[in-house]
Structure 1
Amino acid sequence: MEEIERDVNTKPLSWKQYLVVASLLFGLFFGAGNLIFPLHLGQLAGANWGMATFGFLVTAVLLPLLAVLAISASHAKGVYDIGKPLGNSFALAFMVLIHLTLGPLFATPRTASISFSVGLQPVLPKSATKPALLIFSAIFFILAFIISYKQSTILTSIGKILNPLFLLLLFSIFLLAAISPMGAAKNQNVTAAYQSAPFFNGFLEGYNTMDALAGLAFGYTIVSAVRQLGKTSAKSNAKVTARAGVIATSAIGVIYVGLIWVGATTLNQFKISAEGGTVFNQIVTYYLGDFGHALLATLVTLTCLTTAVGLIAAFAQDFHRSFSKISYHGWLTIMTIVSFITANFGLDTIISWSTPMLMFLYPIAMVLIILSISGSLFDHDPVVYFWSIVFTFIPAILDMIASFPALVSKQAWALQLRAFQLQFLPFADIGMDWVIPAVIGLAIGFIVHFYHKQRTN
């Protein structure tokens, strides 16, 4: 324990070292897929884009950083350890659900469908969309599989050139939009949901980035990088991660603010799109023409491929570690095939079915992050975890059912549950009905913990 609690390197880190950690954090939390949700949010929020942005930044920027800090503060090596105070069965189930969400069910197939919707779909006739997506996603995942199978670092090297190019393209769009905006964001129409609760709807939209879940699943990479710099105690490790995190998340936050504002300005020129991929292509083509579209399509496809390789490899490694009867390459094959199948349902369908899972996982993840960071206050007592999660679990399940597509949410039993939810749980209409139960559960957990502690003393 002594080795963990004392720093190997007692000297302050240099700015260069902080920037290395910050760039790792930036890479973990920002990819091409993250561009479509703030743009879509801007279109939905219209004139209320400012308040919606605050909500979005909480779950898309602050919460992912807290997730990595939770890994650092609790000495966890991943999402399994974060859930372990509730028992091995819960920890395993939580880890599997998060990896399935980040893996073959939603995030990984989304990399192919976003590339397709931004690059090829706009130039194809509607009748050719499905066969073209089938061919495109097959090539995309065959490449991802080969690179992951050989554990090649070629995309990491390419990424060092791609990412600056991508950011240069993005800031060019911001500059052009500032010089010649499509319209004034403050004068745009506001959709019904964003008229009454722009902050909370922006908060919920941030779930779609899945970055808080990624922070729990892959945050140990960042923590390990900081430890390699000699900051091996939990306190200094968290402090370095937090400082580097401020640099990384500030950069991401600036990009998100720019994207949401640009999204709001597009309403003078374009209709609200079903997802942000369409509007992203429209914006780039509007300002940079066909050359801009071609450049965007290339950069998005390559950066999404890089993300897909990382997700496929991480999924295979973690599942091989937990279910070792199947080899790394076996899990890699399963992950690739399922991701390919899911990608062919299309981006709209993937997003509509991922929303219920995120409405369920995010409240539980948020509570676990808070408990992991503040665990020293109650000695990481499993009793506090138990009561907090039990009270969070019920409204999270109800939110999941309510947010399913009509195939599920409009069933008679689902409508009865929704009526019960709206009647008895405050803030159910804005998807925040888990907050009060979670606080009550936390209070009960603290009372039980300190009662037991007093009795044993």
Structure 2
Amino acid sequence: MALGFMTFAFFLGAGNIIFPPQAGQQAGDHLVPAMLGFFSTGVTLPLVAIIAVAVAGGWKGMTQDLPSKVATLLAVLIFIVIGPAFAAPRAGLVAYEMGVKPFIADAGQLSLTLFSIVFFGIAMVLSRSRGNLVDMVGKFLTPILFIALVALAVSVVANPQDAIEAARGDYIEMPFLKGFVEGYNTLDAVAALLFGMVIVDAVRSKGVSDEQATRKYLVMAGLIAAAGLAFVYISLFYLGATSVNIAADASNGGDILAIYVAALFGPAGQMMLSLIVLLACLTTVVGLISACSEYFSSLTSWSYEKWAVVLSVTCCVVANVGLNQLIVLSLPALFALYPIAMALVILTFIRRWLPNPALSYRVVMLVALSFSMIDAAKVAGFNVSAFRVLPLFDYGMAWLMPTFAALVVTYFVGAQKAAQQEGQTA
């Protein structure tokens, strides 16, 4: 249970809190299909990714059919984006914007800088004590966070502030696909590939050395985390759907949540929301810094502890860019990375049935990367209308059909080569 709570806390960060309310508000009466789409990339895929890590025995097992340098480069890029470049600083910024800034009369750059130093300093201390992560996060921080989330969820369901109205924007025609793409913002499917390493390390620090037992704990932790995330998303989607009038002028999901909680609980609500956001973002940052430090220390002569310090300081510096700017900058990276992560997870599960795993892995991953760059370029504002002929281009999923086609083609090509080799041998 403690391991599962720790995993849930690592996943539950900035994106999980600020994006579902906004999606729920726009989805309106199409709430259910939008929520199911969001669940696909925000709950199911992270769980499947955790299981894939368990099945493959870690990152090396998942990328064994890729050239070693390519596998290392891919891991480094994912770790940079999920760690010091975007996800960890974003969590710190959300913690500041929603957990501290409302209580500061003249909040400015100085207050953000001071908060960043304190916040990432605490994260650094917790990350350096990696052997005690399960105890500190799973047994103490997360139960407090979960109790606060349950109180919020019960209040939202018992006393909704508005009626659910008609869907808006893309949620009118394609609620499931829009929710599916919005789930990218959580970054959880990519993070799951990395958190798996931290979970394995935490299990082993408790004296579990058997590989089968480690996999069992990894899968159970993933199931507990997925259940917790589903509970949070359902309540936040419903909160957003019943906030159309009360939070009509809100600019983002964080504003919707803050306005709603203030209406439900008054000033005490702001304190509760601050507690939820601060704990959620802190535990996520601890998980991200731990995962990045673990990996980078395996590549270099620097120790885990030294990397934890360097990454914490880097996150602190990047966080001072500002939340809106960081979200804008991170979107292209999300659209580029998510398809690669999905392709890798799928390949991991079907590897045993592939006639030529090396061929399939290399071609499918290359195709997924190439076409995901089109979606990333479109999100970044570049004119890529020439690729509109691709299926699902308008939905931000131009990568899907070409990647599936590459998988089918490499399967039959691999089977044909295997048959030819058998014939020559005979």
Give TM-score scaled by structure 2 length.
0.89
Structure 2: 5+ residue stretches without partners: none
Answering whether residue 377 of structure 2 is matched by residue 393 of structure 1, we say no
SS at match of 1:196: coil
Structure 1 residue aligned with 2:410 = 445
CA apart distance, 1:159: 5.5
After TM superposition, the structure 1 stretch with the greater mean CA deviation from structure 2, 135-144 or 435-444, is 135-144
Answering whether residue 399 of structure 2 is matched by residue 419 of structure 1, we say no
Structure 2 residue aligned with 1:382 = 358
- Residue of structure 2 aligned with 1:39, choices 21, 28, 34: 21
Supply the distance in 1 between the matched residues of 2:217 and 2:118 (Cα, whole angstroms). 41
After TM superposition, the structure 1 stretch with the greater mean CA deviation from structure 2, 167-176 or 196-205, is 167-176
Supply the distance in 2 between the matched residues of 1:347 and 1:299 (Cα, whole angstroms). 18
CA apart distance, 1:163: 2.3
Answering whether residue 85 of structure 2 is matched by residue 105 of structure 1, we say yes
After TM superposition, the structure 1 stretch with the greater mean CA deviation from structure 2, 127-136 or 82-91, is 127-136
Supply the distance in 1 between the matched residues of 2:176 and 2:126 (Cα, whole angstroms). 41
Post-superposition CA distance 1:17-67 (Å, at most 9, x none):
xx4564454344334652222122112322222111010000011101111
Answering whether residue 16 of structure 2 is matched by residue 51 of structure 1, we say no
Aligned alpha-carbon RMSD (Å): 2.7
Structure 2 residue aligned with 1:88 = 68
Structure 2 residue aligned with 1:60 = 42
Supply the distance in 1 between the matched residues of 2:191 and 2:334 (Cα, whole angstroms). 12
Supply the distance in 1 between the matched residues of 2:387 and 2:8 (Cα, whole angstroms). 38
Supply the distance in 2 between the matched residues of 1:285 and 1:160 (Cα, whole angstroms). 29
SS at match of 1:86: coil
After TM superposition, the structure 1 stretch with the greater mean CA deviation from structure 2, 105-114 or 376-385, is 376-385
Contact 1:68/1:222 (<8 A) preserved:
no
Supply the distance in 2 between the matched residues of 1:154 and 1:447 (Cα, whole angstroms). 46
Supply the distance in 2 between the matched residues of 1:378 and 1:217 (Cα, whole angstroms). 25
Structure 1 residue aligned with 2:335 = 359
Cα distance change, pair 221–339 in 1 and its aligned pair in 2 (3 A): closer
CA apart distance, 1:213: 1.1
SS at match of 2:161: coil
Contact 2:195/2:288 (<8 A) preserved:
no
Post-superposition CA distance 1:101-129 (Å, at most 9, x none):
1211111112211111112223445x633
Q: Which amino acid aligns with 2:253?
A: G
Post-superposition CA distance 1:259-280 (Å, at most 9, x none):
1011111112012533322222
CA apart distance, 1:281: 2.0
After TM superposition, the structure 1 stretch with the greater mean CA deviation from structure 2, 146-155 or 129-138, is 146-155
Structure 1 residue aligned with 2:347 = 371
Structure 1 residue aligned with 2:393 = 428
Structure 1 residue aligned with 2:286 = 309
Supply the distance in 2 between the matched residues of 1:369 and 1:158 (Cα, whole angstroms). 27
Post-superposition CA distance 1:360-411 (Å, at most 9, x none):
011111011000011110166110112212222221011111112xxxx2xx
- Residue of structure 1 aligned with 2:118, choices 120, 123, 139: 139
SS at match of 2:247: coil
Query: What are the within-5 Å matches in structure 2 for residues 291-330 of structure 1?
Result: 291-324=268-301, 326-330=302-306
SS at match of 1:374: helix
Supply the distance in 2 between the matched residues of 1:294 and 1:420 (Cα, whole angstroms). 50
Query: What are the within-5 Å matches in structure 2 for residues 75-224 of structure 1?
Result: 75=57, 77-78=58-59, 80-124=60-104, 128-149=107-128, 153=132, 156-157=135-136, 160-185=139-164, 187-188=165-166, 190-222=167-199
Answering whether residue 216 of structure 2 is matched by residue 258 of structure 1, we say no
SS at match of 1:128: coil
CA apart distance, 1:162: 3.3
Contact 1:378/1:446 (<8 A) preserved:
yes
- Residue of structure 2 aligned with 1:343, choices 319, 326, 342: 319
Contact 2:94/2:323 (<8 A) preserved:
yes
Cα distance change, pair 359–68 in 1 and its aligned pair in 2 (3 A): same
CA apart distance, 1:241: 5.3
After TM superposition, the structure 1 stretch with the greater mean CA deviation from structure 2, 367-376 or 85-94, is 85-94
CA apart distance, 1:158: 6.4
Q: Which amino acid aligns with 2:357?
A: D
SS at match of 1:218: helix
Structure 1: 5+ residue stretches without partners: 1-18
CA apart distance, 1:358: 0.9
User: Size of the alignment, in residue pairs?
Assistant: 420
Contact 2:145/2:279 (<8 A) preserved:
no
Structure 2 residue aligned with 1:6 = none
Supply the distance in 1 between the matched residues of 2:157 and 2:348 (Cα, whole angstroms). 42
Supply the distance in 2 between the matched residues of 1:243 and 1:355 (Cα, whole angstroms). 31
Post-superposition CA distance 1:337-359 (Å, at most 9, x none):
22112211222222221111110
Answering whether residue 250 of structure 2 is matched by residue 280 of structure 1, we say no
Cα distance change, pair 86–105 in 1 and its aligned pair in 2 (3 A): same
Contact 2:250/2:256 (<8 A) preserved:
yes
Supply the distance in 2 between the matched residues of 1:341 and 1:225 (Cα, whole angstroms). 28
Cα distance change, pair 252–454 in 1 and its aligned pair in 2 (3 A): same
Give TM-score scaled by structure 1 length.
0.84
